[in-house]
Chains A and B, each alone.
Chain A
């Protein structure tokens, strides 16, 4: 059973507009959340993370929002650029840390149209 869900397999956005990628989770014990970005023929690379003690974390054009009551996570990219076109995976983990406590979503393919 998928504990981390990305219900939109794909998303297309015009360059300069906002991209919003969504992620839902089922386990209320998750307390650390991450986003990874994956280009074709490359491995995923870490993008941004957030701890459950926060509801927002910002890094340049990327902001992650956490709504614990709704068990919902979102990644906002503003403004979107063609180089942002990639597959985005959200992931969630439970403390204490352990590799078996990290769960990935199925990914959302973002296409930014010039």
Chain B
């Protein structure tokens, strides 16, 4: 089974802090994604990556950056955390080809910014 592991289940940070959310997948998938889930808004795409060192903006990239130095690892960076970035963050991966056919998600990181 594909495993997508997010390093933290819960995180509490202060406004202005730099925050790193880490995600590792073990199935050699080319495609990796970061979503955030908010009540009433569903899942919204922040950034995605088709390959190492490649990144593309999603629907809501403002205030975020990403890093993909190795195929299995995709990091989401909040450069200066703000309270409106309090959310559930979900990492996902998928094999090459029809990348929207089936995403494999991690269990999520609930981030609270105080």
- In angstroms, Cα B2 to Cα A42, docked, is 14
Interface residues on A, range: 20 to 34
- In angstroms, Cα B43 to Cα A93, docked, is 14
* Proximity bits, B39-63, A CB within 8 Å = 1, else 0: 0111111001000000010110000
- In angstroms, Cα B105 to Cα A42, docked, is 9
- 8 residue pairs bridging A and B, Cβ less than 8 Å apart: A34-B100, A36-B103, A43-B107, A89-B42, A102-B45, A102-B100, A106-B40, A106-B41
Among the interface residues A41, A44, A106, which one has the most CB atoms of the partner chain B within 10 A? A44
Given contacts A100-B59, A106-B41, A107-B42, 12 further A-B contacts (CB under 8 A): A2-B42, A43-B4, A44-B43, A44-B103, A45-B105, A46-B102, A97-B97, A97-B101, A99-B48, A100-B56, A100-B58, A104-B42
Residues of chain B having any CB pair with chain A under 8 Å: 4, 9, 31, 33, 40-45, 48, 56, 58-59, 90, 92, 97-108
Q: Which of B31, B59, B105 contacts A44 (CB 8 A)?
A: B105
Q: Which residue of A lies closest to B97 (CB)?
A: A97
Q: Is A10 an interface residue (CB 8 A)?
A: no
Pairwise interchain contact A4-B100, C-beta atoms closer than 8 A: no
Residues in chain B near residue A45, CB distance under 8 A: 105
- In angstroms, Cα B103 to Cα A101, docked, is 13
CB-CB nearest 8 A-B residue pairs: A43-B105, A99-B48, A93-B100, A104-B43, A104-B42, A106-B42, A102-B100, A46-B102
* Proximity bits, A71-114, B CB within 8 Å = 1, else 0: 00000000000000000010101000111111011110000000
Distance in angstroms from A90 CB to nearest chain B CB is 9
Q: Is A49 an interface residue (CB 8 A)?
A: yes
Distance in angstroms from B99 CB to nearest chain A CB is 5
- In angstroms, Cα B44 to Cα A105, docked, is 10
Pairwise interchain contact B108-A43, C-beta atoms closer than 8 A: yes
